[in-house]
Structure 1
């Protein structure tokens, strides 16, 4: 929702008219329900058609009917407006008719930055403009979105809920752009993938290359990060799907996890490490060696901690970076914990030690929002991920 080059979304007011017109097929009835003139409805629909680049209605003696493009936009717009209305229903009625995307963008930016000044910088606007936008929105809602405390600016529950609804509504309209482009055979939009460490070792690169043979022009954005960071981006609508180790049970009920294959944890060391050729290796033999381990919040770390519970190492370097682990192990006698898939990619540098870890298998797959409806391109990429995973299991 930061300032950028993407087309501005159609106004909320025009989308509401469009939804009613799509249901009634009558400009007269739509004007009555929206408390505007019939020419106002006609002008709004003409502007919406120009913005989308598609004819949205066909006229016949029985009224107005949605075109194929109109059906696509109607479905996505209904989902977007429903997200807003679910939150706005607990606020003053005026906000449904007065809220604008720039006001909601200001709300989102301030709630994330916890500062009007930082939000203004992010949006490329003057600070008074951002403050005025959120104040106008508060007045229409009849509630307060921000409170000043001794520790700074805090977003209220109402503000957080509306900001989240606005993010997901805009994500839905961005998907509408992609769906409409697909009708003309054009690649519009992009796919944003949150990649946990394991997914970057083989599975995701292979899927990307296969997908590129089908769709060579669609932008793909890969975001590396920790699970909690990527999960936040996914739930906000900034990320379309997240790949890697699943969390079982699910940490929250608004996501969907699809298991595609299993991997297992492994203990690794540099090639030529004193333990690499030892027969009958046990965890007792690992006592006293320093370790490079993933963060405590990861499934792999839980497996390693359980295995080393009787002899916990004193020297531990925590990192989620495979490259950093590799470089530390390359020049030392440190041991490390990796998934077997990651370790096999690093076979020129690292050896998998022959020690058995209990409960070492982990479910690997795709995490999406529970109510996510992918575009055609997103669905194609998801299917490619499934096919690639099937070939690896």
Structure 2
């Protein structure tokens, strides 16, 4: 049941132009530039912001010598304003879809492993049924994808929920975890070594995911738990074409689920090092927003993901 006080605030005080202004203030950090992006004059933007802060009874932005910065209250309002505007865009898209049959746009985010298997299979199947759907796929870390999902920029994500704050707003349908292996080029010097130890690997050049990702954190913890320094020679990327090119052209190594590069393993271009990392990631799954009704196209994408996941081996 909705809060009557909140309902009065929305009906009486909140204006669509204020939502647009909040989003632009978050993007630009400047009242002048935000006003220009929102097609407002600077005085009009300042007046709208002041009215909103007065209605809420809190300061949303700190006025700095150069621009402005959101307070905690401001960060909440920026995120919620973006989600509200995305909802209205989705409502328009859904109406257009209902008028013209299943079409429109679906935005899906995925972490690396499902982006190479589950998601492409589901997209191919969905487009065979609804060719007019325009599907946008983003591949990134769970942290960034979940931020975009909460902001309404993505319809659904195949990834992980990593913090309790996000969990309260999201639905999670678990799929599978990801056992990781160490992948190198065929003919890599370490392939001929017996009794490989973690200390041997610490001195090698590594391809690593960005700091803050769950795999990076667990690799860091693994080296530290053995009293070892982190690898000194590293390249940070999650772009699979870059990873495979680096592996094929150098003696670098990377921790990946084997299925991501199975084609290269089958052709003999890449190989698995005989060392058991013992790393398994948390379950990834399908993530959607609670109390948010998906558009017909996004719902079809969700149903197809579930269908493909059920048929695929874990």
Of the three residues 364, 370, 376, the one matched with 2:284 is: 364
Answering whether residue 257 of structure 2 is matched by residue 339 of structure 1, we say yes
CA–CA distance in structure 1, aligned partners of residues 233 and 250 of structure 2? 13
Q: How many pairs align? A: 307
Q: Alpha-carbon deviation of 1:211?
A: 0.9
CA–CA distance in structure 2, aligned partners of residues 328 and 212 of structure 1? 33
TM-score (norm 1): 0.67
The worse-fitting range, judged by mean Cα deviation, of 279-288 and 184-193 is 279-288
Answering whether residue 147 of structure 2 is matched by residue 227 of structure 1, we say no
> Deviations 1:45-96 (Å, cap 9, x if unpaired)?
xxxxxxxxxxxxxxxxxxxxxxxxxxxxxxxxxx9xx69x77576xxx5x63
CA–CA distance in structure 2, aligned partners of residues 342 and 250 of structure 1? 29
Change (3 A) 1:120 1:278: same
Secondary structure of 2:190 counterpart: coil
Secondary structure of 1:133 counterpart: helix
Contact 1:177 1:189 in 2 (8 A): no
Q: Which has the higher contact order (CA 8 A, sep 6+)?
A: 2
Of the three residues 194, 197, 205, the one matched with 1:290 is: 205
TM-score (norm 2): 0.82
Q: What are the residue-to-residue correspondences of 1:71-82 with 2, within 5 Å?
A: none
Change (3 A) 1:302 1:370: same
Answering whether residue 245 of structure 2 is matched by residue 318 of structure 1, we say no
| Structure 1 residue runs without a partner (length 5+) | 1-78
Secondary structure of 1:169 counterpart: helix
> Which position in structure 2 is the counterpart of 1:9?
none
Q: Alpha-carbon deviation of 1:268?
A: 0.7
| Structure 2 residue runs without a partner (length 5+) | none
Q: Alpha-carbon deviation of 1:143?
A: 5.3
Q: Alpha-carbon deviation of 1:382?
A: 0.9
Of the three residues 287, 292, 307, the one matched with 1:387 is: 307
Of the three residues 96, 111, 117, the one matched with 2:32 is: 117
Q: Alpha-carbon deviation of 1:125?
A: 4.5
Q: Alpha-carbon deviation of 1:154?
A: 2.7
CA–CA distance in structure 2, aligned partners of residues 275 and 193 of structure 1? 39
Secondary structure of 1:275 counterpart: helix
CA–CA distance in structure 2, aligned partners of residues 121 and 194 of structure 1? 31
> Which position in structure 2 is the counterpart of 1:271?
186
> Which position in structure 2 is the counterpart of 1:20?
none
Secondary structure of 1:180 counterpart: helix
Contact 2:214 2:281 in 1 (8 A): no
Tell me which structure has the larger Cα radius of gyration.
Answer: 1
Q: CA RMSD in A?
A: 3.1
> Deviations 1:132-167 (Å, cap 9, x if unpaired)?
433444455565433313464133444444433333
CA–CA distance in structure 1, aligned partners of residues 102 and 165 of structure 2? 34
CA–CA distance in structure 2, aligned partners of residues 377 and 204 of structure 1? 15
Q: Alpha-carbon deviation of 1:183?
A: 4.0
Secondary structure of 2:68 counterpart: strand
CA–CA distance in structure 2, aligned partners of residues 159 and 88 of structure 1? 20
Q: What are the residue-to-residue correspondences of 1:3-152 with 2, within 5 Å?
A: 96-138=11-53, 144-150=59-65, 152=67
Of the three residues 266, 272, 279, the one matched with 1:352 is: 272
CA–CA distance in structure 2, aligned partners of residues 205 and 268 of structure 1? 23
